[in-house]
Chain A
Amino acid sequence: MSEIGLLPVDAPATAPRPTARRAGYWLIATGGVMLAVMLIVTAFGPFIAPYNPAAISPDSLAGISAQHWLGTDSIGRDVLSRLIIGGRTTLFITAIAVSLALMAGLVLGLLSGYMGGIVDQMVMRALDVVFAFPVFLLAIAVVAALGPTIPNLILTIAIVYTPILARVVRGPVLSVKRWDHVEAARSVGVSEVRLVVSHILPLVISPILVETSLTLANTIFTVTALSFLGLGPPPPDPNWGGMLAEARQFMELAPLTVIAPAAAIVFATLTFIVLANGLRDMLDVGGQR
């Protein structure tokens, strides 16, 4: 499920930097707008949502109407409200989980890359083992082990995505370590911490920004997929994946119950993909997954 990578840039010989930059601006602008929309809607969710997402009504499987802009589900709950509140939950989990993964990945990657030697080898072998598991399989196993609650979901996602972020951090660290002026600075007695901060971090920021965007997109995948299988936030919290799964039963009668959560999932994922590609174009990072 860690499918999402970057769209290729033309080889530098054919596409001059300014064009790539301009494309980058547009992509980031678009992605930024999409992100802003999502954030605003979910932040003000409880105030915007016309109904209580858990409110059952006898008006089930209704189509688009004035009372229910996106119709209702099989037990009469308003789809739009569930979409909005569900988005809150999904994005909340995503944001926290990826932040955790980012912090853990930074620490692990910096440590491993900087210390090198046996520590680096051990960490890399351990990460190789993690990489051997399909992301989704691992997520299922961990959630099953810990139980499907929101904190556990956050923890699972963080565990599953830390390795890739650690690896992305480690790369620049390894190469910078060998640079002459870093050696020189070290020999003059500049503290290790300052070395890391002033030399290594700036190099790491670009690929990390891009990779984090990709991870955000992949996390939306994973969270919604887990909740699709019933391993997501427990009821009554609505969530997009769960909505999709529930809608399967009567989907021919009310296609909107499928299309609405599907569109929401695609929108959220697309936001981060667009941002990732825009960042990559702008920061001119060698994009690869």
Chain B
Amino acid sequence: MARLILIRLALAVPILLGVSIAAFILVRLLPGDFAQTAAGVTDVSAATLDLMRHNLGLDRPIWAQYLLWLGHALGGDLGTSFATKRPVTSEIFPRLAVTFELTLIAALMAMAMGVATGLASARLRGRADWAVRVWNGFILAIPNFVVATLIVLLAGLYFPQIGIFNYTPFFTDPVANIGSLLLPGLSLALAVSVTVSENTRAAVLEIAAQDFVMVARAKGLRPRSVLWNYLVRNALTPVITVTGLRVASLLGGSILIETIFAIPGMGQYLFDSITSRDYPVIQAIVLVTAAIVVLVNVLVDIAYIRADARVEM
């Protein structure tokens, strides 16, 4: 098992490298001259521009530039923001924390909703099953930004006293902070909850047919006991891993949700930096986001390996 885990970790390395290369190239494709944009001011003398180019290392071959950047990045230095002139790492970090919190809340909500509907669908069958599946199919057709906009509309029309755009940082007021992330989290969570629901249903149906569930019933245990300790606990492993695999889509969706709800996370930061052509920032965000996705996928794979070990041996 340890060997399998090491192999999986090893596989992640070339992918991360590829990701870094892709991020590097992507930014080089953006329109506009790097040095010019770094300078910011339009009328800069050619000599100054040349000097800037030299300082930024732009006169070296591209592979050298890449290695230079990569080296710095591995050491934690992601460059300096064109817009604020501050280190990108320190700019990204707090925003990353915000997005992380939003994503986590969304993931938890998605799991809660998905497990509930999936369980109902699997255990109650008949009408409940049909209702859940229709609901799922419909929810899947509503993009998360449409959900978010509709939520804002509903709140504005019928609950004007609820402040929607009142994001509060965590350390200022934890309760308000979490409260302000609930509706944004819900917008993100709905689509993911469908996947969780389907997987829960399938998992529960499969587990209910297993021998150890029959044994549990033969022991005379109460139905609720069987449900939670034997069915749900075994279904949770696939559910959590499936949610983990959905991190990519949660991160992608957070860009839109953060914009709509005015939440200062990475998504909004990315959008702003694209508009303001802040290339080091764009590069860093793309790299960090993709790296997170790769790492979460690796964790999910490791979880699968461990779960398999338990069941198969």
**Do chains A and B stick together as partners?**
yes
Binding site for B on A (CB under 8 A): 1-5, 7-8, 11, 125-126, 128-137, 140-142, 144-147, 217, 221, 224-225, 228-229, 241, 244, 247-248, 251-252, 255, 258-259, 262, 265-266, 269-270, 273-274, 277, 289
Q: A129-B18, A141-B282, A147-B31 are in contact. Are A265 and B255 (CB under 8 A)?
A: no
Q: B9-34 toward A: CB 8 Å interface, digit per residue (1/0)?
A: 00000110011001000100111000
B153 within 8 A of A: yes
Q: A244-B149, A251-B156 are in contact. Are A225 and B18 (CB under 8 A)?
A: no
B195 within 8 A of A: yes
Top 4 closest pairs, chain A to chain B, by CB: A134-B252, A136-B252, A129-B18, A270-B141
Total cross-chain contacts (CB, 8 A): 155
**Alpha-carbon gap, A5 to B270, bound state (A):** 27
Most A C-beta atoms less than 10 A away, residue of B14, B140, B144, B251? B140
B153 pairs with A252, CB closer than 8 A: yes
**Alpha-carbon gap, A144 to B285, bound state (A):** 14
Chain A's closest residue to B31 (CB) is A147
A224 pairs with B143, CB closer than 8 A: yes
Binding site for A on B (CB under 8 A): 14-15, 18-19, 22, 26, 29-31, 133, 136-138, 140-146, 149-150, 152-153, 156-157, 191-192, 194-195, 198, 201-202, 205-206, 246, 248-249, 251-253, 255-256, 259-260, 270-271, 274, 282, 286, 289-290, 293-294, 297
B141 pairs with A266, CB closer than 8 A: yes
B residues near A2, Cβ cutoff 8 Å = 248-249
B143 pairs with A129, CB closer than 8 A: no
B202 pairs with A228, CB closer than 8 A: no
B residues near A128, Cβ cutoff 8 Å = 15, 18
Q: A133-B19, A247-B149 are in contact. List 11 more A-B contacts (CB 8 A).
A: A5-B140, A8-B202, A132-B15, A135-B248, A141-B26, A144-B30, A147-B31, A229-B256, A244-B145, A270-B138, A273-B137
The answer, among A3, A134, A229, for a CB contact under 8 Å with B251, is A134
B residues near A221, Cβ cutoff 8 Å = 143
B18 pairs with A125, CB closer than 8 A: yes
In whole Å, how far is B207's beta carbon from the nearest beta carbon of chain A? Answer: 13
In whole Å, how far is B273's beta carbon from the nearest beta carbon of chain A? Answer: 10
B249 pairs with A251, CB closer than 8 A: no
A residues near B192, Cβ cutoff 8 Å = 3
A residues near B195, Cβ cutoff 8 Å = 3, 5, 289
26 A-B pairs with CB atoms under 8 Å apart are A5-B194, A7-B136, A128-B18, A133-B22, A133-B289, A134-B252, A134-B290, A135-B249, A135-B252, A136-B253, A140-B255, A140-B274, A144-B30, A224-B143, A228-B256, A244-B149, A252-B153, A258-B149, A259-B150, A262-B150, A265-B142, A269-B141, A269-B142, A270-B141, A274-B137, A289-B195
B152 pairs with A248, CB closer than 8 A: yes
In whole Å, how far is A280's beta carbon from the nearest beta carbon of chain B? Answer: 12
B residues near A132, Cβ cutoff 8 Å = 15, 18-19, 248, 290, 293-294, 297
Q: A132-B294, A135-B252, A270-B138 are in contact. Are A228 and B145 (CB under 8 A)?
A: yes
**Alpha-carbon gap, A128 to B248, bound state (A):** 13
Chain A's closest residue to B136 (CB) is A7
B residues near A126, Cβ cutoff 8 Å = 18
The answer, among B133, B152, B249, for a CB contact under 8 Å with A3, is B249
The answer, among A7, A141, A142, A251, for a CB contact under 8 Å with B137, is A7
A residues near B153, Cβ cutoff 8 Å = 251-252, 255, 258-259
B residues near A142, Cβ cutoff 8 Å = 26
B18 pairs with A145, CB closer than 8 A: no
**Alpha-carbon gap, A132 to B150, bound state (A):** 30
B26 pairs with A145, CB closer than 8 A: yes
A262 pairs with B30, CB closer than 8 A: no
Q: A137-B270, A145-B26 are in contact. Are A1 and B252 (CB under 8 A)?
A: yes
The answer, among A5, A11, A136, A145, for a CB contact under 8 Å with B198, is A5
In whole Å, how far is B148's beta carbon from the nearest beta carbon of chain A? Answer: 10
Q: A3-B192, A3-B249, A132-B15 are in contact. Are A225 and B145 (CB under 8 A)?
A: yes
A125 pairs with B14, CB closer than 8 A: yes
In whole Å, how far is B275's beta carbon from the nearest beta carbon of chain A? Answer: 9
B residues near A8, Cβ cutoff 8 Å = 198, 201-202
A residues near B252, Cβ cutoff 8 Å = 1, 134-137
Chain A's closest residue to B132 (CB) is A7
B256 pairs with A225, CB closer than 8 A: yes
Chain B's closest residue to A125 (CB) is B14
B residues near A241, Cβ cutoff 8 Å = 145
B residues near A269, Cβ cutoff 8 Å = 140-143
A7 pairs with B133, CB closer than 8 A: yes
Chain B's closest residue to A221 (CB) is B143
**Alpha-carbon gap, A137 to B293, bound state (A):** 12
Chain B's closest residue to A143 (CB) is B274
In whole Å, how far is B98's beta carbon from the nearest beta carbon of chain A? Answer: 17
Q: A8-B198, A225-B143 are in contact. Are A144 and B274 (CB under 8 A)?
A: yes
A248 pairs with B149, CB closer than 8 A: yes
A residues near B156, Cβ cutoff 8 Å = 251-252
Q: A129-B19, A145-B29 are in contact. Are A134 and B146 (CB under 8 A)?
A: no
Q: A248-B149, A252-B157, A255-B157 are in contact. Are A273 and B140 (CB under 8 A)?
A: yes
